[in-house]
Amino acid sequence: MQLRIEKIDYEGNGVCHNNGKVLFVKGSLKDELVEAHLVKEGKRFSIYETDQVLKKSPLRKEATCPFFKSCGGCVFDIVSYSDSLALKKEMVEDLFRQQGIGNFDLEILSSPKHYGYRNKISLKVQNGQFGYFEEETHQFVPIKNCLLAKEAIQNFLQDFSLLNFYEGSIMIRVNENDELLLAIETQDLPKIHEKILLNHKIAGILLNGKCVYNAPFFIERMDHLLYKVHAESFFQVNFDIAEKIALDIEKVFTKEDVLYDLYCGVGYFSLKLARIVKQVVGIELNQKAIFNAIYNASLNNISNVSFHVGKVEDLLEKIPLKANKVVVDPPRSGLHKNVRKVLKEKKFEKIVYISCNPKTLVRDLQDLLEVYEIESIKLYDMFPFTKHVEVLAVLKLK
């Protein structure tokens, strides 16, 4: 079917209309004429995938990654990096405008590294090959390398066969010292070849959640702070951008502030902001992350921070220390409705919202803007060439 693309949506797909139905077209760019086939039929929309570009956008270039079409993760690998930033900016601005948040001309900060920036990747393993599931499917795509991963991870993948397992998954993390942390999930009985330990700095190996070599964590250094990061804990994936976000967040706070850091993880923002404010209270559901956060505070001799494990929506009203400002860094699902309810009731002076999903951010803003107003919004290219973009929204009480 021939389709003429009208615009790009917030998922990085081309958009057009046919007989009153919205069509989302993977692998296409604005103003292109493409030949595409149907992937999924819906009542209000359908999803297509590009087979051939009949009329190319002037922005289009050859993909750098050889697995671009089969993997589908790096939707903007077919344009230059500067054009990818412009497209992400346009995507978020369109989303905000369509959902009634407002008309914005947003700044987007670029990533110093366009490739080799990810300090963590998670791979599927089938028939002894590693790879990803194709975007939004469970179709396994074997790869030889991932250009987004840091060099130490890419080097390790060349020795993957020495792990001797054939079905399952593997998560690989690396710190600034190129120390690797591996978490393997498999029903096989892998025998780690000694060359793995000789060729790479292995901080630890976990097998089905149990540490089988060295330690289940490593120490990371960022901005003169040390962080103990467990294999299963959330931590910032692109350090360069994470530090840019942290610097902008610090401008919101003073030494008189008491703040809640909701969804605090291992305490990345908590510890940075503790150097500026009077007191920080961190809340996080992942128990291992909270153990790490408590350890990290001690490791850095920071005493004006406390951490609590549990659901944010359950603990937020039970914390005895009252805060005047809040940092929220929720998962892609955004804020629980009960969290939004409490945020509106407590009427904090400011809410600093770090979002990895503009769609759920918009939903949350539509609710929070009953009580708050937007002071500033800024975009950060945390994941170059993917559809993802980080958004920092600062809200103030009306």
pLDDT value of residue 70 = 87
User: What are the structural domain ranges in the chain?
Assistant: 1-60, 120-218, 237-397
Reported as type and span, the H/E element at residue 299 is: helix 287-299
CATH superfamily of this structure's domain 237-397: Vaccinia Virus protein VP39 (3.40.50.150)
223 pLDDT band (50/70/90 cuts)? confident
pLDDT digits (tens, 9 = 90+) for 161-196: 999 999 999 999 999 999 999 999 999 998 889 999
pLDDT value of residue 61 = 96
pLDDT value of residue 82 = 97
Q: Which residues contact 298 (CB under 8 A, 6 or more apart)?
A: none
pLDDT value of residue 317 = 84
pLDDT value of residue 116 = 97
Give me 316's structure tokens: 């937020």
What CATH architecture is 120-218? Beta Barrel (2.40)
What CATH architecture is 1-60? Beta Barrel (2.40)
- Per-residue pLDDT averaged across 227-256, rounded? 94
- Per-residue pLDDT averaged across 110-124, rounded? 97
Residue listed under structure tokens 């615009």: 7
| Residue 188 zone, left/alpha/beta (φ > 0; ψ -120 to 50; rest) | beta
- Residues belonging to the active site: 356, 390
Cα 255 from Cα 63, distance rounded (Å): 48
Please, are residues 381 and 281 in contact by the beta-carbon 8 Å criterion? no
Please, are residues 351 and 325 in contact by the beta-carbon 8 Å criterion? yes
Cα 356 from Cα 258, distance rounded (Å): 25
pLDDT value of residue 137 = 77
19 pLDDT band (50/70/90 cuts)? confident
pLDDT value of residue 69 = 84
pTM over 0.85: yes
- Tell me whether the CATH fold assigned to 1-60 matches the one assigned to 237-397: no
Q: Percent of the chain scored above 90 by pLDDT?
A: 88
pLDDT digits (tens, 9 = 90+) for 278-335: 999 999 999 989 999 999 999 999 999 999 999 998 998 888 889 999 999 999 999 9
